[in-house]
Amino acid sequence: MVDTHNSYAVPVFGLPCFCLITGASRGIGRGIALQLAEKVGDNSLFVLTARSEAGLQGTKSLVAARRGSGTEVRTVTGDMGNIAALSTTLHDLFSDIPPSGTFSHAMLFHNAGSLGDITKKVCDFDDPNELQEYFGFNITSVITLTSKFKFRPQTYGRQRILDVRM
């Protein structure tokens, strides 16, 4: 018997899921998409975003090959570090999401980010614009994307958010 009060006891795999993955054009983001493709159920929706359109198309092809039919894969080319364009990117990520009750689960994987210039010491950061870009990419975009994701609970069932930082 499944304990419905414990969100970790509710099965995720084999069910229709909404999967949003940032940094999905290569590396860990692509790996997450490919692993999920083997685990989610039919009628799932993958929304992949990254700066590289070519990389996104490659990931999309690989996910489609693993899933076959029954799962939709969308790509949104965008730079989560471009704060001026972030509202447009967020709008594009969530446009035309199917109506309430379509997905059993929703998963957001934050995989876009930057360590910045790791050769610098704290005392070397004297340019506020450089710091603002770093914080915009690593903090502002994560908070606003999470907020947008959490604001849509009527669209999907249980939500899981994973912040991937290496």
pLDDT tens digits along 37-62: 999 999 999 999 999 999 999 999 99
Instruction: List the domain range (segments joined by +) for residue 29.
Output: 17-126+159-163
Tell me, yes or no, whether 119 lies in a domain.
yes
Provide the whole-model pTM. Answer: 0.85
Tell me, yes or no, whether 4 lies in a domain.
no
Tell me, yes or no, whether 132 lies in a domain.
no
Q: Domain containing 40 — which CATH number?
A: 3.40.50.720
Q: How far apart (Å, rounded) are the C-alpha atoms in residues 90 and 86?
A: 6
Report how many domains make up the chain.
1
Tell me, yes or no, whether 9 lies in a domain.
no
Residue with tokens 């929703």: 106
